[in-house]
């Protein structure tokens, strides 16, 4: 048995054991489950995207592929500074645009003549991928790569031979830089009606990735590891299922409608959780023109709640500048956001009040029947809160389709203050401040027996405890 088959067999045994543990005798709408790797990925929640390449130096978003490689000339590339920044921001990994649509490779690919090698940077011996992979390891971050299938430089693009070229490039990045936790296959293509047409061999690409690193989470419009959330604003749907129907679809022009990607499919046949990508600046690449347009911390906090808080991972783009460093306004903003997230979510006002539901452990949970149910958080004294966080135990699926939260009023009546549909890995909701000692969460609709892992109450007001 070769190495890949062995890992595949282990994964299959793991999945079988898990569904036995989750089994509940229902017609089993829960049988679409995440792989162990997808659960681990969803628990990462927040990562850094870095757009960097010739566009950084030409002030463009989409290069033509005709740029002279020498335009790529960072004077002070420092991937350790990127990693230190991501780490301080509480991000769990970094995904770099190893090759954007202009075709320029940030590693010295043997399959292209449009790379760091031809740029003359560092005497043609530079390799940004190597430097970032090493920095991520040093800072305890996961390392990921974005490789654009659309290539405006490669002479083979538009012919069947390009598929082999692209597969070969995937092989290079997946075999020469250590573990790659996520591989981003961008579906974008701007060739237009008169442009080159490439029939992508997705089977070949996915097979290549599986053979090199079977654990890599593959991002595309339709997964299979995780899916695009359908917009570049960082907003998942208020209802957001991790499941998706992918049959008959493919990345790019053949993808499902963006509102489907945004919400997922309640009975979707595959587990393909959402990833929300958004840039901290107006563009994806660095431009001096956007130095004063870095998103405000309140805006980033809202994005965080609308992505991580709606069952999707947040991939926040922080472009490196022409020196090859994360610029100061961006890193400052990331630290501010971290401060706000820690201040608000660092301590739940409900900690310890409801057993497994409030123990901070995502692997302990309380089960509810297919008809739903309720749980109560009883606090020693009244607290003021304006945020509620709920988490499902997703290794057994995503089952909750409706819930509401109430507090007990002065006359003993239950007063609803918020309600929603899906929960999934995490649901964060904000509402007008409530002061109460007793809070009740009711699961009003479930697809089957469901499991709630965590429930937390938080307050955004400064100085709240």
Q: Which position among 88, 188, 328, 351 is part of the footprint of ligand FUL (CB under 6 A)?
A: 188
| Four-point Cα dihedral 410, 411, 413, 415, nearest 10 | -30
Buried b (16+ CB within 10 A) or exposed e, 155-188: ebbeeeebbebbbebbebbbeebeebbbbbbbbe
Cis peptide before 195 (omega within 30 of 0): no
From the CB of residue 20, how many other CB atoms can be counted at a distance below 10 Å? 8
- 184 vs 368, beta carbon nearer ligand FUL: 184
Instruction: Pick the closer one to ligand FUL by CB: 61 or 179.
Output: 61
What 3-state class would DSSP assign to 413? coil
Q: Which is nearer to ligand FUL, 277 or 406 (CB)?
A: 277
Measured over the CA atoms of residue 228, residue 231, residue 233 and residue 236, the dihedral's sign is negative
For residues 91 and 51, what is the distance between their CA atoms, to the nearest angstrom? 16
DSSP assignment string, 231-263: SSBS---SS--SEE--TT--SGGGSPPHHHHHH
- Does position 392 interact with ligand FUL (CB under 6 A)? The reply is no
Name which position in 177, 284, 417, 458 contacts ligand FUL (CB under 6 A): 284
Question: How far is residue 151's CA from residue 157's CA, in Å, rounded to a whole number?
Answer: 6
Rank residues 223 and 424 by Cβ distance to ligand FUL and give the closer one. Answer: 223
The mark string for 293-332 relative to ligand FUL (x by CB under 6 A, - otherwise) is ----------------------------------------
Contacts with ligand FUL: how many residues (CB under 6 A)?
A: 5
> What is the rounded distance in angstroms from the CA atom of residue 435 to the CA atom of residue 454?
21
Tell me how far, at minimum, the Cβ of 234 lies from ligand FUL, in Å: 12
Q: Which two tokens stand for residue 110?
A: 């043997």
264-283 positions binding ligand FUL, by CB under 6 A: 277
- In this chain, which residue has its C-beta nearest to ligand FUL? 188
**Which residues between 56 and 115 bind ligand FUL (CB under 6 A)?**
61
Give the DSSP H/E element, type plus range, for residue 267. Answer: none
Residue with Cβ nearer ligand FUL (61 or 291): 61
Taking the complex as a whole, the smallest distance from the CB of residue 174 to ligand FUL amounts, in Å, to 20
Least distance (Å) between residue 417 CB and ligand FUL: 37
CA 375 to chain centre: 30
- State how far the Cα of 261 lies from the Cα of 245, in Å rounded to an integer: 10
Which of 131, 151, 172, 186 is in the footprint of ligand FUL by CB under 6 A? Answer: 186
Q: Which is nearer to ligand FUL, 287 or 358 (CB)?
A: 287
Q: Facing residues of 418 across strands? A: 405
CB atoms within 10 A of CB 446: 21
Pick 186 or 454: Cβ nearer ligand FUL: 186
Cβ-based nearer residue to ligand FUL, 95 or 457 = 95
Among residues 49 and 417, whose Cβ is nearest to ligand FUL? 49
Find the shortest distance in angstroms from Cβ 393 to ligand FUL: 31
**Distance of alpha carbon 354 from alpha carbon 408, whole angstroms:** 16
In terms of CB distance, is 105 or 429 closer to ligand FUL? 105
Nearest to 397 by CA among 421, 425, 358: 425
Rounded Cα distance between 242 and 230, Å, is 13
Compose the 133-172 pattern: x for residues touching ligand FUL by CB under 6 A, - for all others: ----------------------------------------
Per-residue tokens: 462:
């400064």
**Cβ-contact 389, 345 below 8 angstroms:** yes
Min dist CB 188 to ligand FUL, Å, is 3
- In whole angstroms, the minimum distance from the beta carbon of 166 to ligand FUL comes to 16
- Shortest distance (Å) from residue 271 CB to ligand FUL: 23
Interacting residues with ligand FUL (CB under 6 A): 61, 186, 188, 277, 284
């Amino acid at each position: 048995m070769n190495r890949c088959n062995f890992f595949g067999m282990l994964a299959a045994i793991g999945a079988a054991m898990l569904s036995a543990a989750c089994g509940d005798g229902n017609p089993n709408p829960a049988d679409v489950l995440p792989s162990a790797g997808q659960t681990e990925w969803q628990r990462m929640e927040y990562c850094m995207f870095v757009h960097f390449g010739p566009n950084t130096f030409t002030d463009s978003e989409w290069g033509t592929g005709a740029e002279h490689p020498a335009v790529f000339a960072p004077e002070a590339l420092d991937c350790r500074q990127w990693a230190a920044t991501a780490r301080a921001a509480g991000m769990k990994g970094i995904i770099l645009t190893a090759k954007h649509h202009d075709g320029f490779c940030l590693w010295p690919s043997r399959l292209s003549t449009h790379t760091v090698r031809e740029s003359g940077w560092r005497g043609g011996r530079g390799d940004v991928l190597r430097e970032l992979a090493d920095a991520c390891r040093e800072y305890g971050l996961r390392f990921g790569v974005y490789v654009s299938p659309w290539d405006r430089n490669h002479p083979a693009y538009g012919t069947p031979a390009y598929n082999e070229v692209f597969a070969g490039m995937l092989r290079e990045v997946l075999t020469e830089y250590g573990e790659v936790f996520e591989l981003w296959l961008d579906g974008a293509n701007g060739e237009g009606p008169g442009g080159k047409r490439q029939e992508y061999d997705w089977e070949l690409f996915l097979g290549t990735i599986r053979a090199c690193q079977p654990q890599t989470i593959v991002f595309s419009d339709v997964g299979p590891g995780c899916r695009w959330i359908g917009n570049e604003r960082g907003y998942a749907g208020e209802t957001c299922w991790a499941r998706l129907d992918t049959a008959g679809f493919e990345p790019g022009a053949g993808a499902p409608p963006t509102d489907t990607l945004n919400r997922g499919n309640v009975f979707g046949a595959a587990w393909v959780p959402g990833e929300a990508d958004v840039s901290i600046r107006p563009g994806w690449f660095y431009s001096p023109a956007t130095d004063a347009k870095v998103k405000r911390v309140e805006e980033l906090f809202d994005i965080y709640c609308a992505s991580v808080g709606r069952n999707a991972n947040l991939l926040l783009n922080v472009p490196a500048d022409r020196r090859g460093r994360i610029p100061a306004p961006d890193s400052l903003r990331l630290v501010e956001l971290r401060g706000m997230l820690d201040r608000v979510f660092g301590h739940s006002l409900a900690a310890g009040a409801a057993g497994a539901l409030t123990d901070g452990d995502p692997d302990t949970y309380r089960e509810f029947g297919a008809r739903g149910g309720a749980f109560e958080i009883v606090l020693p004294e009244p607290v003021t809160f304006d945020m509620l966080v709920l988490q499902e135990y997703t290794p057994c699926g995503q089952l909750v389709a409706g819930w509401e939260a109430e507090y007990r009023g002065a006359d003993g009546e239950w007063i609803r203050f918020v309600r929603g549909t899906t929960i999934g890995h995490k649901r964060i909701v904000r509402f007008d401040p409530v002061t109460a000692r007793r809070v009740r969460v009711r699961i009003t609709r479930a697809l089957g027996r469901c499991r709630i892992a965590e429930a937390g109450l938080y307050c955004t007001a400064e100085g709240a405890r």
